[in-house]
Amino acid sequence: MNTKYIFVTGGVVSSLGKGIISSSLARLLLSRGYRVTIQKFDPYINIDPGTLNPYEHGECYVTDDGHEADLDLGHYERFTDIRTSRANNVTTGRIYQTVIDKERRGDYLGKTVQIIPHITDEIKRNVKLLGKTGDYDFVITEIGGTVGDIESTPFLEAVRQLKWELGRDALFIHLTYVPYLHAAKELKTKPTQHSVKLLQSVGIQPDILVLRTEKEIPASMLRKVGQFCNVAPEAVIQSLDQPTIYQVPLRMHEQHLDDIVIRLTDADPTPRPDLTRWNNYLHKLSTAEKVVTIGLVGKYVELQDAYKSISESLMQSATHLDHKVKVVYIHSEKLTEENVEERLKDMDGVVIAPGFGQRGIEGKFVALKWCREHDVPTFGICLGMQCMVIEFARNVMGLADANSTEMDTKTPHNVIDLMEEQKSISNMGGTMRLGAYKCRLRPGSKVAEAYGDTEIMERHRHRFEFNEDYRTRFEEAGMQCVGENPETHLVEVVEIPGKRWFIGTQYHPEYRSTVLHPNPIFLSFVKAAIAYSDEKASK
């Protein structure tokens, strides 16, 4: 069958969860046996979110092929187990950059370069890129922003044109919000009607409406919305707030979202989706009673989206191990020798978060020293691993001023140093060591045991590395370098054997942890935290 293109737009307000609806639809279509991918268009001018502060845009997600991507790609992968790539996340900045590069090369042969058709053609090319591979039955394209935004206009124009080219191979889903007015005790559909009018005014007629709501919308009201908006009554679906986002595929399936998409695009019919494993996971999630408490030490505690993939990974693993996870966000800037005991004593495990720069770094050392000395299961990720190395150098090896040259260029003991290949780089965007690399694990190490393998692939995002010159001294002092890149010998994993669980990874395992396949190292860490919790309880 032809590749089908599903466009997901949003209206009324932002943050409605277009990513979750797109992921849920993808989950349902995959579970019916279709081949599916999801892509996101972001209307901002940045080439990618790699240079964005987490306060602006939450976590920066990284794909296997080393693209720094919007955090929605994390949802796509966690829901579906598909692997996304650079082609799955395109920004206005990238579209314009390509067009401007072409103009400079003279590709437009003297023509005036304009938003229509040049920018819109480039957008269309990017939509069809994934479909053209022949690898997908469905390409779901989420258009960031809200209908009516100046920034999203070229994207809407491009997909309007695509509908003309693709006919029934293209379909529009519009997500809106139905507010509940407490004073009037009423749900209000007017914003939805306005939002659809706005979409119609740019020439797009939605085929399916998904209405986000905090209160059940009566069938009569759904019908009314359909009538006002030219949408078949059965294609007006509600998305009531759920206890967890992972329930959303089920709620969508109950209202036949997948059936409607298949019917409206004339896709080859398939059996009902097999959601057994998904339901098993949800069952565990809702029935788990025992709680495992994990402290997450970082500097963005007020902004939990900054650590989205980590908290999701912890939850996935805890659920598979029949536990609920309580993630306690601990502000690294506020941790001191005086309060560390108070803040960490109830933790069954501690994660030291990734990050950049000096802010909050001393608090990470304080946490690590306390965890190491009290033998609490501890997991350092990227900067967290680098901090593990520095703390060990300072307090165990007696290298008082050991540091990373990221924090102190003049440190006498640069146990973490800028990677050789980074030394000549001055541009910030897309220049880190990014994406999936092989890592060889030492047989017999805890980390090899966790993966059940000695060769793994994990994703990276860093400029600094463990300084090879110190390797022997660390190993003699008790911190083992148990994972390394087979080609460059770059140290990727450190471990203190004999501890309950004290491991740091230069890579980010959270980017490869999904609902149905939690990352083995997270499973191993959470298992150790549960064992520690049980051990404390039995004392």
Nearer to ligand GLN, 160 or 462 (CB): 462
Straight-line distance from the first to the last Cα atom of the chain, in angstroms, rounded to the nearest whole number: 63
User: Which candidate in 60, 229, 371, 382 is catalytic?
Assistant: 382
Nearer to ligand GLN, 172 or 507 (CB): 507
Nearer to ligand GLN, 355 or 377 (CB): 355
Helical (H) or strand (E) element with 46? none
Binding range to ligand GLN, per CB under 6 A, among 63-71, 78-86, 288-296, 352-360: 352-360
Answer yes or no: are the C-beta atoms of 468 and 488 closer than 8 Å.
no
Beta-bridge partner residues of 458: 437
Binding range to ligand GLN, per CB under 6 A, among 123-131, 329-337, 456-464, 512-520: 456-464
Amino acid at the residue 3: T
CB of 396 to ligand GLN, least distance (A): 22
348 token code pair: 């069954």
Answer yes or no: are the C-beta atoms of 127 and 163 closer than 8 Å.
no
Binding range to ligand GLN, per CB under 6 A, among 14-22, 195-203, 306-314, 460-468: 460-468
The rounded distance, in Å, linking the Cα atoms of 252 and 261 is 11
User: Which candidate in 68, 458, 484, 510 is catalytic?
Assistant: 510
The rounded distance, in Å, linking the Cα atoms of 142 and 128 is 14
The neighbour count for residue 487, using CB atoms within 10 Å, is: 9
Secondary structure (3-state) at 321: coil
Binder of ligand GLN out of 275, 356, 362, 375 (CB under 6 A)? 356
At residue 524's C-alpha, the angle toward residues 520 and 529, to 5°, is 145
Binder of ligand GLN out of 17, 179, 273, 354 (CB under 6 A)? 354
Nearer to ligand GLN, 199 or 297 (CB): 297
Nearer to ligand GLN, 464 or 470 (CB): 464
Sequence-ordered alpha helix ranges (H) in 255-338: 257-264, 276-287, 308-320
CB of 359 to ligand GLN, least distance (A): 12
Whose CA is closest to 211, among 202, 198, 223?
223
26 token code pair: 């993808």
The neighbour count for residue 165, using CB atoms within 10 Å, is: 11
Residues 6+ apart with CB under 8 A from 30: 36, 80, 81, 82
Binding range to ligand GLN, per CB under 6 A, among 178-186, 298-306, 436-444, 459-467: 459-467
Nearer to ligand GLN, 354 or 363 (CB): 354
Count of residues interacting with ligand GLN (CB under 6 A) = 10
CB of 51 to ligand GLN, least distance (A): 13
Nearer to ligand GLN, 163 or 462 (CB): 462
Binder of ligand GLN out of 231, 382, 390, 436 (CB under 6 A)? 382
462 binds ligand GLN (CB under 6 A): yes
Whose CA is closest to 529, among 305, 205, 296, 193?
296
Binder of ligand GLN out of 212, 372, 463, 500 (CB under 6 A)? 463
Nearer to ligand GLN, 118 or 459 (CB): 459
494 binds ligand GLN (CB under 6 A): no
Nearer to ligand GLN, 249 or 298 (CB): 298
**Binding residues for ligand GLN restricted to 383-422, rule: CB under 6 A:** 383, 406
CB of 485 to ligand GLN, least distance (A): 14
Nearer to ligand GLN, 323 or 508 (CB): 508
The rounded distance, in Å, linking the Cα atoms of 365 and 351 is 12
Binder of ligand GLN out of 43, 54, 355, 377 (CB under 6 A)? 355
DSSP string for 391-446: HHHHHTS--TT--BTTT-TT-S--SEEE-GGGTT----TT-SEEEEEEEEE-TTSH
Binding range to ligand GLN, per CB under 6 A, among 71-79, 86-94, 349-357, 489-497: 349-357
The rounded distance, in Å, linking the Cα atoms of 204 and 161 is 9
The answer to whether residue 60 is catalytic is: no
Binder of ligand GLN out of 212, 461, 471, 512 (CB under 6 A)? 461
CB of 9 to ligand GLN, least distance (A): 33
459 binds ligand GLN (CB under 6 A): no
Answer yes or no: are the C-beta atoms of 65 and 59 closer than 8 Å.
no
The answer to whether residue 495 is catalytic is: no
Answer yes or no: are the C-beta atoms of 505 and 386 closer than 8 Å.
no
Amino acid at the residue 236: V
The neighbour count for residue 62, using CB atoms within 10 Å, is: 26
The answer to whether residue 103 is catalytic is: no
Binding range to ligand GLN, per CB under 6 A, among 29-37, 73-81, 448-456, 458-466: 458-466
464 binds ligand GLN (CB under 6 A): yes
The rounded distance, in Å, linking the Cα atoms of 98 and 159 is 19
CB of 521 to ligand GLN, least distance (A): 16
Binding range to ligand GLN, per CB under 6 A, among 96-104, 177-185, 255-263, 354-362: 354-362
Greatest alpha-carbon pair distance for the chain in Å reads 80
The rounded distance, in Å, linking the Cα atoms of 279 and 284 is 9
CB of 278 to ligand GLN, least distance (A): 31
58 binds ligand GLN (CB under 6 A): no
Compute CA distances 401 → 332, 350, 385, 410, 466, whole Å.
Answer: 20, 25, 18, 10, 16
Footprint on this chain of ligand GLN (rule: CB under 6 A): 354-356, 382-383, 406, 461-464
- Residues serving a catalytic function are 382, 508, 510
